[in-house]
Amino acid sequence: MPTGSDELSLIDAFVAELPHAKTPFGPGDDAAVLPRPKGQTCVTTDATVEGVHFTRPAFSLEDVGHKALAVNLSDLAAMGATPRWWLCALQVPRGFTTDDARALARGMAPLARAHGLTLVGGNVTSGPVLGLTLTLGGESPKPLLRSGARPGDVLLLTGPLGLAAAGLRALREGQTSGPEVDAQRRPLPHVESGLLARRFARAALDVSDGLLLDAWRLARASKVALALRSDWLPLGSTLEDALQGGEDYVLLLAVPARAVDRCLVAAAKAGLDWTPVGKCERGTGVFLDGRPAPPLGHLHGAP
Amino acid sequence: MPTGSDELSLIDAFVAELPHAKTPFGPGDDAAVLPRPKGQTCVTTDATVEGVHFTRPAFSLEDVGHKALAVNLSDLAAMGATPRWWLCALQVPRGFTTDDARALARGMAPLARAHGLTLVGGNVTSGPVLGLTLTLGGESPKPLLRSGARPGDVLLLTGPLGLAAAGLRALREGQTSGPEVDAQRRPLPHVESGLLARRFARAALDVSDGLLLDAWRLARASKVALALRSDWLPLGSTLEDALQGGEDYVLLLAVPARAVDRCLVAAAKAGLDWTPVGKCERGTGVFLDGRPAPPLGHLHGAP
């Protein structure tokens, strides 16, 4: 990316579409100065790369922008954090225009507005393909960790699994619309669920790489075994998609048994559809219907 | 990048080489939880991409790691911030091994240790070429901004200009060692200068894209004119390299005239070689020896 007017007009076009901080707190200095946090600060970074996480034209630039921001918001949601600020590092291929930058930002703006997220800085460089590496910061009085689950805790999912994997298949088969395709291109991060979860849950993570792999991560971090019931799983597609599909960005929560009823009532009152899917036990690893389930991962594939 | 054991062993190898936080504050959860800041928090993000900022084998993986971290540290230095924590998003091409990840990290470790920088999280994905997008956080009681310069302030540079551009040319011509090549491959961020500068300076930025372009940025942000003297510039190479070369990562400071003598004495006592190069005046734009100097930028070129 030649520095100078091209880069500047591209940055200006991008920033103008988004809720952003004013200098000295926002874009335009060597670093952004953050407002003082009220609780503890959680930070996360995640990259979305052309040919790896998406292809064009299966994804529009608006889709790419939306999804890049959504997957990072999902990480904050898993911490029970209130989104606050973000940085956007763009890698743009030759021929990428200010209109393209605007389209990316337009895909991000509704999510940023909905979740109170302020752009504070970023970086633009050239690269062989389009890539977005975002860093998000959020606040929580008491962040939810993967390591907090205890034997006896009940496992809850904050939404159905498998729809995004079905959408990936549909896109590969040339389908261009429908709820599966929407789930794949425009996943909605469970930020509200994360905020509610911090009142009840002892541990959480977002199911980005498939239930079996992410459950295994929770089990390992908490030093417990997770016993899942396949007939309890909220399915958006086939059982295989649900177990290994990935990219659904629902949260897996571990809630103390005594709090589960209150927790489910509170979720229902908030219009959230949470489902018990199993429980934590002494031991290690993940069990599905009583049988050991290997941590089979999701290969992020470009549609 | 297939999630699962490959990604995990690569992350483990990388993290093991570096000063890193333990969970819940470090790698391993959906987001990192930061320690409470003492001052104001400054955050910056910058990408280093193969074919854009470096090529192999002109750069070893250690060089790549060093430079990626150095350019981000330079942004914190420009804010007068004490480096605290960082996130590392890696994009790795097919065939990138755990040994490669270790080499990258080994290039970063000395800088991270020297500046008290703790790795708290990151992300690994595959991509067409090697790319590193880093996010760094630092603290300052009073961050230095680009917008603080006032007419009458004296402009100081914290080191010589042009060496990195000469190094880029040398690498292209097949040279593999020497001070120019070192300056290009292993730039040293002026973190100590930034910390000292916050006692004296009203404005600062790092000269990453060439003096003329970066001086223009400072002038614009502060709404002043910058009058530079070519015969005062500390040259590491030709005047043209110094003015437009970029990648030297020295700091340009604006210091109130009454504080300049004390400031230069303090810098000399600290073993820092700071040089007056001009002053701020009423007006707009950048003037070199009294003539308007256009914001000619540095085209980051891969050696």
**CATH classification of the domain holding B104:** 3.30.1330.10
Q: Please check whether residue A247 lies inside any domain of the structure.
A: yes
Q: Which residues of A touch B125 (CB under 8 A)?
A: 47, 49, 52-53, 300
The four Cα atoms A144, A150, A154, A155 give a dihedral, to 10 degrees, of 50
Q: How many domains does chain B have?
A: 2
Nearest Cβ partner for B121 among A1, A44, A76:
A44
The answer, yes or no, to whether residue B59 has pLDDT greater than 70, is yes
Chain B contact probe: residue of A1, A6, A29, A76 with most B CBs at under 10 A: A29
All residue ranges of chain A with pLDDT < 70 are: 1-5, 23-27, 297-303
- pTM (2 decimals)? 0.93
Of residues A233 and B4, the one with the higher pLDDT is: A233
The residue whose two tokens read 């599909």 is: A245
A1, A3, A11, A30: best to mutate for the B interface, most B CBs within 10 A: A30
**Cβ contacts (< 8 Å) between B31 and chain A: which residues?**
42-44, 75-76, 78-79, 81, 136, 138, 143
Nearest CB to A79 within list B31, B51, B87: B31
Q: State yes or no: pLDDT of B4 exceeds 60.
A: no
Q: Which of A30, A129, A296 sits opposite B79 (nearest CB)?
A: A30
- Would you tell me how many other CB atoms lie within 10 Å of the CB of residue B195? 18
Task: Judge: A49–B75 Cβ closer than 8 Å, yes or no.
Answer: no
- pLDDT at B10 > cutoff 70: yes
Quick one: pLDDT band at residue B85, thresholds 50, 70, 90?
A: very high
Q: Give kind and range of the element (H or E) at residue A124.
A: strand A118-126
Cβ contacts from A onto B, under 8 A? 224
Closest CA to B159 of B134, B187, B131: B187
Please give the helix or strand (H or E) that residue A16 lies within, else none.
helix A5-16
Average pLDDT over residues B172-187: 94
Instruction: Test A30 with B213 for CB contact under 8 angstroms.
Output: no
**Inter-CA distances, A216 with A235, B87, B192, Å:** 19, 24, 44
Q: Are residues B100 and B85 in the same domain?
A: yes
Which pLDDT tens digit goes with each residue over B232-284?
Answer: 999 999 999 999 998 999 999 999 999 999 999 999 999 999 999 999 999 99
What's residue B5's pLDDT? Answer: 59
CB contact under 8 A, B146 and A1: no
Instruction: Assess whether B69 and B175 both reside in one domain.
Output: no
Cβ count near A13 (within 10 Å): 18
Is a pLDDT exceeding 90 seen at residue B26? no
Query: Which pLDDT belongs to residue A3?
Result: 46
Q: Is residue A303 domain-resident?
A: no
Both B25 and B45 in one domain: the answer is yes
* pLDDT reading at B1 higher than 50: no
Q: What are phi and psi of B250, to 5 degrees?
A: -90, 165
Q: How confident is the model at residue B29 (pLDDT cuts 50, 70, 90)?
A: confident
Q: Which of A140, A168, A193 is the last residue of a domain?
A: A140
Give the domain CATH number at A238.
Answer: 3.90.650.10
Query: Does residue B28 register a pLDDT over 90?
Result: no
Tell me the per-residue pLDDT of A28-48, one tens digit each, with 9 for 90 and over: 788 999 988 888 999 999 999
Mean pLDDT for the stretch of residues B207-222: 94
The model's confidence at residue B2, banded by pLDDT at 50, 70 and 90, is: very low
CB B144 within 8 A of CB B204: yes
Q: Look at B145 and A34 and tell me if their CB atoms are within 8 Å.
A: no
Report the percentage of chain B scoring pLDDT > 70: 94
Q: A22 and A129 share a domain? A: yes
Interface contact A31-B75, CB threshold 8 A: yes
Is the model's pLDDT at B303 over the cut of 60? no
Do A158 and A77 share a domain, yes or no? no
> Residue B200 above 60 pLDDT?
yes
Cα-Cα-Cα-Cα dihedral sign, residues A179, A183, A189, A193: positive
The verdict on B194 and B263 lying in the same domain is yes
What pLDDT was estimated at residue B220? 94
A270 versus B24: the higher-pLDDT residue is: A270
Calpha distance B251→B239 (Å, rounded): 18
CA nearest neighbour of A144 among B29, B120, B35, B119: B29
Query: What residues contact B57, with CB distance under 8 A and at least 6 apart?
Result: none
Contact call for B300 and A52, based on CB within 8 A? no
Which residues on B lie below 8 Å from A300 (Cβ)? Answer: 1, 3, 125
Which residues from B are below 8 Å from A205, CB to CB? Answer: 29-30
Q: Is residue A301 part of a domain?
A: no
| Contact state of B2 with A135 under an 8 Å Cβ cutoff | no
Give me the residue from B87, B128, B147 closest to A43, CB to CB: B87
In a domain, B295, yes or no: no
Long-range contacts of A164-167 (CB under 8 A, 24+ apart): A164/A236, A164/A245, A164/A246, A164/A247, A164/A248, A164/A249, A165/A237, A165/A241, A165/A244, A165/A245, A165/A246, A165/A247, A165/A248, A165/A298, A166/A236, A166/A237, A166/A238, A166/A241, A166/A245, A167/A303
- B226 and B255 in a single domain? The answer is yes
Arithmetic mean of pLDDT over chain B:
93
What is the predicted pLDDT for the residue at A2? Answer: 43
For testing the chain B interface, which of A36, A45, A85, A247 should be mutated: the one with the most B CBs within 10 Å? A45
Query: Is A299 within a domain?
Result: no
Q: Smallest Cβ distance to A3: which of B3, B87, B209?
A: B209
In-domain check, residue A69: yes
* Interface probe, candidates B1, B9, B11, B30, chain A, greatest A C-beta count within 10 A: B30
pLDDT of residue A9: 85
User: What local confidence, expressed as pLDDT, does residue A6 receive?
Assistant: 75
Mean pLDDT score, B160-187 = 95
B167 with B71, same domain: the answer is no
Question: Which of A140, A169, A184 is a domain's end point?
Answer: A140
Question: Over the stretch A199-245, which tens digit does the pLDDT of each residue have?
Answer: 999 999 999 999 999 999 999 999 999 999 999 999 999 999 999 99
| pLDDT, position B113 | 97
In angstroms, rounded to a whole number, what is the distance separating the alpha carbons of residues B274 and B157?
6
In a domain, A294, yes or no: no
pLDDT of residue A1: 42
Point out the domain boundary residue: A92, A115, A140: A140
Pair A21, A127 in one domain:
yes
Q: Which amino acid is at B153?
A: D
Q: Is residue B268 part of a domain?
A: yes
- B34 and B59 belong to one structural domain: yes
What is the chain B residue with the closest CA to A143?
B33
Domain of residue B58 covers 5-140
Tokens of residue A12, six digits: 């200006």
Asked if residue A225 lies in contact with residue A284, where contact means CB atoms within 8 angstroms, the answer is: yes
In which band, very low, low, confident or very high, does the pLDDT at B297 lie, cut at 50, 70 and 90?
low
Tokens standing for B99? 């040994």
DSSP A21: P
| Residue B36: per-residue pLDDT | 87
